[in-house]
Amino acid sequence: MFLVQYTADNSRALNVDSTAMALPMSDPTAWATAMNNLGMAPLGIAGQPILPDFDPALGMMTGIPPITPMMPGLGIVPPPIPPDMPVVKEIIHCKSCTLFPPNPNLPPPATRERPPGCKTVFVGGLPENGTEQIIVEVFEQCGEIIAIRKSKKNFCHIRFAEEYMVDKALYLSGYRIRLGSSTDKKDTGRLHVDFAQARDDLYEWECKQRMLAREERHRRRMEEERLRPPSPPPVVHYSDHECSIVAEKLKDDSKFSEAVQTLLTWIERGEVNRRSANNFYSMIQSANSHVRRLVNEKAAHEKDMEEAKEKFKQALSGILIQFEQIVAVYHSASKQKAWDHFTKAQRKNISVWCKQAEEIRNIHNDELMGIRREEEMEMSDDEIEETTEAKETEESALVSQAEALKEENDSLRWQLDAYRNEVELLKQEQGKAQREDDPNKEQQLKLLQQALQGMQQHLLKVQEEYKRKEAELEKIKDDKLQVEKMLENLKEKRQLLGSFEDIYKENGRNSVPAEGLWKERSDEASESAMICPTRSTSPAFSFTTENCASRLCAANQENDYPLEKTMNGSPIKSEREALLVGIISTFLHVHPFGASIEYICSYLHRLDNKICTSDVECLMSRLQHTFKQEMTGVGASLEKRWKFCGFEGLKLT
């Protein structure tokens, strides 16, 4: 037992009381002399005795032996001593010797690194007259001694039973030993106790470590086995009896999952062969029959979800109505007729309640509006899908028919293969038996052959019908593409007529009869295109459009350009060129800063793709009083532009 005391200089001292044996002190005067020489008076902080009945002549309480870690039966390792705390050791009295403590001001004795599992200590500095009995008497207080190996050179090795006993033995390092009361040099010595490395200690330590490792592995294995998920039940091997059981389970909804797992395992194991192919096909067909059930269950869950949404929306609407009523109550109470009768605190509470109710009402209202907005978006998406589905109804119907025929064709083909396998198996069994055919077997073979022929004929009919449906589908697709092309051409013609009308409406020089004529012709052309779409791409329709444009150009020339009509050598050689001149003049009239020849031709190409750029430029070059070419821009941006100068040319001509 360690006792912490305070010395005269206010520093802590750890006193380890001595005499592990309850023996009377043989020489109390020598003990007191040694303590006085070391300067270790048993005093407290203020210099007073720690215990009132302390006998300074004996250095201990009368009648009570001191408790030390060397006492027999105290099987604990002393706690580690802090380095900054000075340890005060005291005299230890044995039967035939006395141990005097070292000077506390000296540094602690040095020790080597502790070997693993150390139970052996080296003891040096023994007296020359020291015997093995004296060594046992001193060190048996640290614990059970297994072996002592004493040398003639005043040292020995002591092996203890446990490792913690070595720490007790190291406590005696530095003590000065004296045999009896003799002062002879051969009867004294200074003990040096240190760790010793022994093969027996290392072997026992390794065995102990291996045992601990085995225990740890066993503990981990048991923990892993406890945490490991249970293995699935073993799947039975395939047989006709087990196949019939699994087929019955596949028809039951509650046992479907287990049966499907068994079927999957059999197929992956490679149990499918010619003999068992029909059984496996029937089980796969039973599994396929559950698809419709699963789809129906999904639809039922979706219906429940829609009903729950509807109930939630109705409940939310009811809550919102009640919030509106509460807010209306607050607003009515806020009017002056009732507001003046409330106290200031009541008014404040009513205002706060009204504000909170309005915030909660707005939140619920936004949530309800969000739900309605989502429903409207879903409805709009459904309408778009319906319109697209309406356009593809015939095509999808034909595709579905073709797919149904294809599936039927595949199923018939599989049945045909199954019948062939049965016929081959029967033939093999018949060859192995090597006996004459019974009339029953012949009848069965004939029936199977007839069924096979009927299946082949039915298969041929289905294939022919499938090919016919595919041809009809291709024909309908081609007709659909032709109709789409005709609609596109009709739209282009209508855009062309509309552009003519817009151009001549913008031109302020057009006369009223010409506009009426143009409208009449355009209406007639549009009506004819609507009545018969196929005429939109015919030469007659293009001639009508061209004739209308030429008549309009002629009317404009008669009304606006009488001088050019009377001229003999006119630069305009055909009605097409006159129409081009009118269109180009109108185009340049709305572009007062001019336009390049590429820009003009790009506009004309929208009306007629056959117009050539060089022909247009040549035509504009011949009409010098109507069109003029100018250079615009600077440096790299230099560009030739055509401008309309018909009004100046009219004055000149």
What angle is formed at CA 52 by the lines to CA 48 and CA 55, rounded to 5 degrees?
A: 95
Mean pLDDT of 22-29: 42
Q: In the predicted model, what is the mean pLDDT of the chain?
A: 76
Residue 615 has pLDDT above 80, yes or no: yes
Amino acid at 311: K
Residue 71 has pLDDT above 90, yes or no: no
Percent of the chain whose pLDDT exceeds 70 = 72
Residue 146 has pLDDT above 90, yes or no: yes
**Of 438 and 314, the one with more pLDDT:** 314
Q: Write the DSSP string, 311-368.
A: HHHHHHHHHHHHHHHHHHHHHHHHSHHHHTTS-HHHHHHHHHHHHHHHHHHHHHHHHH
Strands 120-124 and 627-632: unpaired
Convert 268-286 to b/e letters by CB count within 10 Å (16 or more is b): eeebeeeebebbbeebeeb
Name, of 40-44, 85-89, 412-416, 540-544, the range with top average pLDDT.
Answer: 412-416
- Report the alpha-carbon distance of residue 279 to residue 259 in Å, rounded: 14
Position 434 scores a pLDDT of 55
Residue 527 to residues 484, 503, 543: CA-CA distances in angstroms? 19, 21, 16
Write out pLDDT tens, residues 124-145. 999 988 899 999 999 999 999 9
Quick one: pLDDT band at residue 194, thresholds 50, 70, 90? very high
H or E element that contains 2: none
Residue 111 has pLDDT above 50, yes or no: yes
Position 565 scores a pLDDT of 40
Position 160 scores a pLDDT of 95
Task: Supply 185's token pair.
Answer: 């040099």
Position 373 scores a pLDDT of 82
How many Cβ atoms are within 10 Å of 535's Cβ, its own excluded? 17
CA-derived radius of gyration, the chain: 59
Write out pLDDT tens, residues 553-577. 444 444 444 434 434 457 788 888 8
Residue 199 has pLDDT above 90, yes or no: yes
**Of 495 and 486, the one with more pLDDT:** 486
Position 83 scores a pLDDT of 54
Question: Do the Cβ atoms of 616 and 580 come closer than 8 Å?
Answer: yes
**Of 27 and 563, the one with more pLDDT:** 27
- CA 86, distance to chain mean position in Å, is 62
Residue 167: which of 204, 147, 194, 189 has the closest Cα?
194
- Report the alpha-carbon distance of residue 51 to residue 201 in Å, rounded: 45
Write out pLDDT tens, residues 305-333. 989 988 888 888 888 888 888 988 988 88
Match 């209202």 to its residue by tokens: 365
- DSSP reduced 3-state for 591: coil
Residue 336 has pLDDT above 70, yes or no: yes
Position 175 scores a pLDDT of 92
Position 383 scores a pLDDT of 61
Position 73 scores a pLDDT of 45
Quick one: pLDDT band at residue 432, thresholds 50, 70, 90? low
Q: Write the DSSP string, 253-317.
A: STTHHHHHHHHHHHHHHT---TTTHHHHHHHHHHHHTHHHHHHHHHHHHHHHHHHHHHHHHHHHH
Residue 506 has pLDDT above 80, yes or no: no
- Residue 466 backbone dihedrals phi, psi, to 5 degrees: -65, -45
How many Cβ atoms are within 10 Å of 415's Cβ, its own excluded? 16
- DSSP reduced 3-state for 124: strand
Q: Which of 295-299, 448-452, 518-522 has the lowest mean pLDDT?
A: 518-522
Amino acid at 375: E
SS (H, E, C) 148-188: EEECCCCEEEEEECCCHHHHHHHCCCCCEEEECCCCCHHHE
Position 452 scores a pLDDT of 85
**Of 599 and 85, the one with more pLDDT:** 599
Quick one: pLDDT band at residue 193, thresholds 50, 70, 90? very high
Convert 360-383 to b/e letters by CB count within 10 Å (16 or more is b): ebeeeeeebeeeeeeeeeeeeeee
- Report the alpha-carbon distance of residue 131 to residue 458 in Å, rounded: 118
**Of 390 and 576, the one with more pLDDT:** 576
Quick one: pLDDT band at residue 535, thresholds 50, 70, 90? very low
Mean pLDDT of 281-290: 89
Residue 53 has pLDDT above 60, yes or no: no
Residue 635 φ/ψ region, left for φ over 0, alpha for ψ in the -120 to 50 degree band, beta for the rest? left
Mean pLDDT of 363-392: 72
Residue 39 has pLDDT above 70, yes or no: no
H or E element that contains 75: none
Position 519 scores a pLDDT of 42
Mean pLDDT of 166-179: 91
Q: Which of 137-146, 258-267, 294-303, 502-511 has the lowest mean pLDDT?
A: 502-511
Name, of 102-116, 206-220, 563-577, 638-652, the range with top average pLDDT.
Answer: 206-220
Residue 500: which of 608, 372, 638, 614 has the closest Cα?
608
Position 222 scores a pLDDT of 94
Position 391 scores a pLDDT of 60
- Report the alpha-carbon distance of residue 173 to residue 87 in Å, rounded: 13
- Report the alpha-carbon distance of residue 466 to residue 409 in Å, rounded: 9
- Report the alpha-carbon distance of residue 44 to residue 12 in Å, rounded: 10
Q: Which of 202-216, 440-454, 460-474 has the lowest mean pLDDT?
A: 440-454
How many Cβ atoms are within 10 Å of 388's Cβ, its own excluded? 9
Quick one: pLDDT band at residue 414, thresholds 50, 70, 90? confident
- Name the DSSP letter for residue 195: E
Position 142 scores a pLDDT of 92
Name, of 328-337, 402-411, 442-451, 632-641, the range with top average pLDDT.
Answer: 328-337
Residue 15 φ/ψ region, left for φ over 0, alpha for ψ in the -120 to 50 degree band, beta for the rest? beta
Residue 541 has pLDDT above 50, yes or no: no
Residue 35 has pLDDT above 70, yes or no: no
Percent of the chain whose pLDDT exceeds 90 = 18
Residue 25 has pLDDT above 50, yes or no: no
> Is 0.75 surpassed by the pTM of this model?
no
Task: Supply 190's token pair.
Answer: 């200074």
Residue 290 has pLDDT above 90, yes or no: no
Position 61 scores a pLDDT of 40
Write out pLDDT tens, residues 226-242. 898 887 778 888 999 99
Q: Write the DSSP string, 417-428.
A: HHHHHHHHHHHH
Position 490 scores a pLDDT of 87
Residue 119 has pLDDT above 80, yes or no: yes
